[in-house]
Amino acid sequence: MNIYIKAILKRYYKLLHKFNPERYKAKYPKFLRDMGINISENYYATKHGFIAPSVMFDANDYSLITIGDATTISEDVVFLTHDYSISKGLQMIDPALTGRFLKPISVGSHSFIGMRAILLPGTTLGDHVIVGAGAVVKGSFPDNVVIAGNPARIICKTDEWAKQHFEAKDYQ
């Protein structure tokens, strides 16, 4: 897909999100699939999945990104599948050396990624993972955990976290 067409479509989806959120939620995953991101046809089937229009997929190869069904990705989250600092480091050893550092990012089903989190190359999140806002995530995390911080680390189990909020009745 041409870079200009992608930019125009990205603006279209931002407007669609503003004026017709339900249509946006149903259509945006298809656009991401067309870009090459691995997202299933059933992503929005349960109507619990959402990907904010401001999510930045900074990838040389969008096929390196996988998003599980019914996952919510909040505003300004960054998916970064490359790190060009490796190339610069190699050039310090020998100016003729070049190299790209590309690693996939995989997010499991029914997960939540908080606002402005950054997912670095090589990140793998299991199912039912909650990522705190602003977290810088690198590495593998199992199913059913809450992670937060910089660098992100496991805070507790998802069911423990949910039980605390249920008992505190701090939800609507």
**Catalytic site residues?**
82
Helical packing angle, 3-19 and 21-35, nearest 10°: 160
Q: Where are the beta strands (DSSP E) in the chain?
A: 38-39, 50-51, 56-58, 65-67, 72-73, 78-80, 105-107, 112-113, 118-119, 124-125, 130-131, 136-137, 140-141, 145-149, 152-157
User: Whose CA is closest to 112, among 146, 64, 154, 78?
Assistant: 146
* Cα separation, 16 vs 23, whole angstroms: 7
